[in-house]
Amino acid sequence: MASLADIISKERLLLIDFSAEWCGPCKMLAPVLKEVKSKLGDKVTILKLDVDKNPVAAQSYQIQGVPTLILFKAGKQVWRQSGLVPAPALQQLIENHQ
């Protein structure tokens, strides 16, 4: 299985959703991410990462709270935000980084 660093470096545009099963806002973010993916298709890869199951990854990206979204472009972090983001705003943000 590829490491997170490998996935980040290989994907042209990658959105990682750092979340947890017990997190209410994380559950509310799921349909937002689904909507964005359905509109943008192959323009972006969306990866959900459970911080409880991946503590090393959460620590390496200094995740303090969930949900935290980080957008990577060609292996570099270009945007980061904790909390809920409305689908239209998230879609626009991703399109701005294409």
**What is the torsion angle, in degrees rounded to the nearest 10, for the CA atoms of residue 30, residue 96, residue 40 and residue 48?**
-30
Which is the catalytic residue, given 4, 7, 11, 23?
Answer: 23
What letter does residue 51 receive in the DSSP assignment?
Answer: T
51 is catalytic: no
Which is the catalytic residue, given 8, 15, 16, 26?
Answer: 26
39 is catalytic: no
**So which residues are the catalytic ones?**
23, 26
